[in-house]
Amino acid sequence: MNRKILLTIGLAAILSACSSSPSGSTAPAEKPAPKPTDTETGRVILQRLYTTSRGWAPDTQPINIQSQNYKNAGGNPNAPLGHDGKSAVWRGLFGSRARQLMKTYMWSGLTGPDAPTLGISPGSEDSFSPNNTSTAPFDLVYLKIDSDQALETAQKHGGAALLKKDPDLPVNFMLNWEPRRQLLLWHVNYGKNSNEPDLSVVVNATTNEFVRVEK
C-alpha cells in the first residue's frame, strides 16, 4: 500500500514537472520606450514660468528668458539645435519689486542620462534692483513675437547663409528689455558659445522688425 502511494506521488511530480515551463524560458518584460525630447518656443515657456513664479511673488515680472540648444545635450544624441525656433531647455529670470529679489526658473523637456529634471524647476534667489539696466523687467504685453518668428527674420539677415555653411551649428535665443530704447528684443544667437556667438541677430519682439546685427 505504501509502495503504491509512493509511486502515485512520484508520477504526479513527474507530470507536474513536464507540464511546467522550463526554468529561464519566460520572456523578459519589455522596457518602456524612452520618452522623446519635448521642445517649445520661448513665448510659450515664458508664460508657463511666469505663472509658476507668481506663486513665489505675486508682483513678479520677467527679466529675461534664454534657451540652451546644443548637440548631444544631456547625453541625448538627438538633442535639438534650435533650427525650428524651439528649445528643449529654457531658463527664465523673474524679479519682485516688493521682495527686492529675483529668482530663476528652468523648464526642461530634454531626455537623456544627464539631462535636467523634466518640467519646471525653481532656481536660486539674488538681490534685485529694477533700476539696474542689466536686469530691467518688462511687461508681457510687449511680447507679440515668438522665438520661431524671430528666427525667420534672423535667417534673412545672415542666419540662413551661416546654417548652410554649417548645418550642425546650434541656434539659441535670448529675450530681454532694452531700457535705453524702450524695446523688448529677441537675440537670435548662432554658434556653439552663446556668450560669444558667430552671429547675433537682434529682432523686435513686438513687431518682428530687424533691429541690428551683433558680432
> Residue 26: is its pLDDT beyond 60?
no
> Residue 95: is its pLDDT beyond 90?
yes
pLDDT band at 119 (very low <50, low <70, confident <90, very high): very high
Closest CA relative to residue 161, chosen from 196, 211, 199: 199
Closest CA relative to residue 99, chosen from 62, 126, 63, 79: 126
The residue to which cell 538627438 is assigned: 78
Over residues 46-69, the pLDDT tens digits come to 999 999 999 999 999 999 999 999
All structural domains of the chain with their residue ranges: 42-214
Sign of the alpha-carbon torsion through 110, 197, 135, 139: negative
Give residue 91's identity as a one-letter amino acid code. Answer: R
Residue 60 neighbours by CB under 8 Å, 6+ apart? 50, 53, 54, 94, 95, 96, 103
> Residue 152: is its pLDDT beyond 80?
yes
Over residues 66-93, the pLDDT tens digits come to 999 988 888 888 899 999 999 999 999 9
Over residues 167-214, the pLDDT tens digits come to 999 999 999 999 999 999 999 999 998 889 999 999 999 999 999 999
> Residue 15: is its pLDDT beyond 50?
no
pTM for the full predicted model: 0.83
Sign of the alpha-carbon torsion through 173, 194, 168, 90: negative
Q: What pLDDT is stored for residue 30 in this prediction? A: 64
